[in-house]
Amino acid sequence: MSPLTTAIALAIASLLASVAAAQDVNYDESKVPAFTLPDPLIDASGKAVATPEAWRSRREEIFRLFEDHVYGRMPGKVDVRVAVTEEPTEALEGKALREQITLHFGPRENGPAMHLLIYRPNEAKEPVPAFLGLNFFGNHSIHPDPAIHLSKAWMRESKDKAIVDNRATEASRGKSASRWPVETIVGQSYALVTAYYGDLDPDYDDSFGNGVHPIFEPPHSERPLELWGAIGAWAWGLSRALDYLESIDSIDAKRIAVFGHSRLGKTALWAGACDERFALVISNESGCGGAALSRRRYGETIERITTRFPHWFCGKLWTYNGREDAIPVDQHQLIALIAPRPVYVASAEEDRWADPKGEFLSLVHAEPVYRLLGKKGLGTSEYPRVEEPIHGEAQAYHVRKGPHDVRPFDWQQFLKYADEVMK
């Protein structure tokens, strides 16, 4: 089946699943079932975890559970060849330097590659902190700058983003700029590093015949339950980008905030759990499989997400469709894996599909781990008012007005919090 045919079939299946899901989705807080969350501070033997040293062992237990039951086991590093496709060049009316780098993975010349776009302050006298995040429609989509290389990769069809026959067009330039305030980020003395998520794994179910998966294992007609999914591949790529940032002098790799929205918010959380080098983890409206508690069964559920996007997770997650209480982890433990590093979870009032309250409660129920490790979390279990952010020492949260999106209000808070915890 060709990528185009696969994409059309996936779109039809996704639409049918959406229609079916809309008929019985729960948006009523009174219908959230009673549930008991697994305690991150009780180990597999039933023993209480009372010291930071004991937490390291417990953390390993929880991490393996997420690998085996949610995201799949991520492979290690691979040979990477770095190609500079644009040397540092003045951009944004001289306020920034723009660089473009390609990371080639594996031994094949025509193998998978990730294309990094970097904007950094032009007149910085020392290495700067950075925001690192994947984008949905190519690097050229985040800013109308005509010098950004136009992605040639497969993309999901989108009339709004000027994607035609699953390929970007010149009209695609800057179509996602509202979500990426490049001038603001650079103006506050941060670098921005981004790459197209489809470079790492095209976002359709093709038995993992494309992207980085074939470097490690052949395509599977019958998928092993433990095989890592697309979220794992995207998170793996974020770590490879961080490897590169550690090799250059212009960016302070010890002060990297990993950021993601929606499915890439799930990715940012998993990347932050897998790679403890990330200094700050930011999840924007990540919902089910991200920051939202699965056991609430509010909005999107495990069954809905694995039906619509079977390639995102490991196959074992499908076995919990309609059985959320049986899964041995929940998403507050994913937040706990990031501790004691700071984490920011953001929601939108109209994005009920992502369960804003469930996202907030993951922070609340992860806070005991932060306290054990000597850090303060949100300091409250009371859900905040809209656009009244809570910035704790190592946890932050806000819910803003509006729908599923990344808005200026979100970035204002992310930058403010980054100033607090990384500067």
pLDDT in tens, 275-293: 999 999 999 999 999 999 9
| Residue 402: Cβ within 10 Å count | 14
Distances (CA, A) of 321 to 36, 156, 405: 18, 26, 27
- Select from 305, 198, 236 the least CA-distant residue to 73: 236
Rounding to the nearest 10 degrees, give the CA dihedral for residues 396, 399, 402, 407: -10
| Residue 116: Cβ within 10 Å count | 23
At 18 the pLDDT is 46
Q: Is 16 left (phi over 0), alpha (psi -120 to 50) or beta?
A: alpha
- Select from 229, 234, 242 the least CA-distant residue to 276: 242
Structure tokens at 229: 């999914």
The dihedral built from the CA positions of residue 170, 97, 212 and 135, taken in this order, carries a sign that is negative
Catalytic annotation, pick one of 104, 149, 391, 404: 404
CA atoms within 13 A on the CB side of 103: 26
Annotated active-site residue 404? The verdict is: yes
The residue assigned the tokens 């079932």 is 33
Structure tokens at 135: 């984008």
Q: What is the pTM of this model?
A: 0.94
Q: Which helix (H) or strand (E) holds 408?
A: helix 408-422
At 90 the pLDDT is 98
For helices 331-338 and 52-66, what crossing angle results, to 10°? 130
Catalytic annotation, pick one of 172, 176, 262, 294: 262
At 255 the pLDDT is 98
> Residue 146 in contact with residue 172, Cβ under 8 Å?
no
- Select from 63, 84, 314 the least CA-distant residue to 213: 314
| Stretches in the chain below the pLDDT threshold 50 | 1-22
Q: Cite the beta strand spans of 202-327 per DSSP E.
A: 251-261, 280-284
Question: 254-288 as b/e, with b when 16 or more CB fall inside 10 Å?
Answer: ebbbbbbbbbbbbbbbbbbbbbebbbbbbbbbbbb
> Residue 120 in contact with residue 191, Cβ under 8 Å?
yes
> Residue 65 in contact with residue 382, Cβ under 8 Å?
no
At 23 the pLDDT is 57
Structure tokens at 29: 């807080």
Provide the 3-class DSSP secondary structure of residue 306. helix
Q: Look at the chain and count its residues.
A: 423
423: DSSP letter = -
Distance CA 126, CA 202 (A): 37
> Residue 14 in contact with residue 22, Cβ under 8 Å?
no
Distance CA 275, CA 284 (A): 19
The rounded mean pLDDT for the chain is 94
